[in-house]
């Protein structure tokens, strides 16, 4: 059976639309992750040290900051509240420039920063598999996102 040109145009339009949805999901995941990740990846020249969490509120935890040899002292710093920060925890951090906010470093901090991308990859996998009919690619993207999320859970 020969396909009409309008059917081919509709299929092409659907593929383009689904491709754009996948692109928006992945770009949003990278954008959201980069907001935190760039402090870890581009940490040269920033203050480094260790935070000891003393109290946690609804959104932020505060604690004392012990700087490394070349960083300046700070009385108190804040870290975003998550499963990664509880009262009494101690972990390495880098200070965000121009503030007293810190970001967890090391492998756990790096993985935690990329969690939004992992979630975006899981969502995009459904669109790739269902909308674009690319099952193998969908499985690859979905498994990569799932591995990132599970690795973050294990590391924290």
Q: Write out pLDDT tens, residues 67-108.
A: 998 888 888 999 988 766 788 889 999 999 989 999 999 999
Span 40-56, average pLDDT = 91
Fold of 44-104: OB fold (Dihydrolipoamide Acetyltransferase, E2P) (2.40.50)
User: Rounded to an integer, what distance in angstroms lies between the CA atom of residue 86 and that of residue 94?
Assistant: 18
Query: What's the confidence (pLDDT) of residue 83?
Result: 60
| Nearest in space to 102 (alpha carbons), one of 135, 66, 58 | 66
Give the predicted TM-score (pTM) of the model: 0.86
Span 121-147, average pLDDT = 97
Sequence ranges of the domains in the chain: 21-42+106-156, 44-104
More confident residue, 3 or 141: 141
Query: Among residues of the chain, what percentage have pLDDT more than 70?
Result: 98
User: Rounded to an integer, what distance in angstroms lies between the CA atom of residue 95 and that of residue 103?
Assistant: 6
User: Rounded to an integer, what distance in angstroms lies between the CA atom of residue 67 and that of residue 17?
Assistant: 50
Nearest 5°: CA angle at 22, between 17 and 24? 95
Q: Which tokens sit at 132?
A: 């674009």
The DSSP output letter for 131 is T
| Nearest in space to 40 (alpha carbons), one of 116, 100, 92, 117 | 92
User: Rounded to an integer, what distance in angstroms lies between the CA atom of residue 65 and that of residue 80?
Assistant: 15
Distances (CA, A) of 136 to 11, 20, 96, 122: 20, 19, 40, 14
Query: What's the confidence (pLDDT) of residue 139?
Result: 98
Whether 37 shows a pLDDT value over 90: the answer reads: yes
Whether 131 shows a pLDDT value over 70: the answer reads: yes
Whether 1 shows a pLDDT value over 70: the answer reads: no
């Amino acid at each position: 059976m020969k396909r009409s040109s309008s059917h081919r145009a509709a299929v092409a339009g659907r593929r383009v639309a689904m491709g754009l949805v996948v692109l928006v999901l992945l770009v949003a995941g990278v954008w959201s992750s980069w907001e935190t990740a760039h402090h870890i990846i581009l940490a040269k020249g920033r203050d480094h040290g260790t935070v000891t969490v003393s109290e946690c509120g609804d959104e932020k935890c505060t604690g004392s900051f012990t700087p490394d040899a070349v960083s300046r002292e700070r009385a108190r710093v804040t870290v975003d509240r998550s499963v990664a920060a509880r009262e009494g925890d101690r972990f390495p951090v880098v200070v965000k420039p121009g503030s007293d906010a810190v970001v967890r470093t090391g492998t756990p901090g790096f993985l935690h920063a990329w969690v939004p991308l992992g979630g975006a990859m899981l969502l995009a996998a459904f669109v790739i598999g269902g909308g674009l009919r690319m099952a193998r690619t969908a499985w690859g993207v979905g498994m990569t996102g799932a591995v990132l999320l599970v690795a973050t859970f294990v590391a924290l």
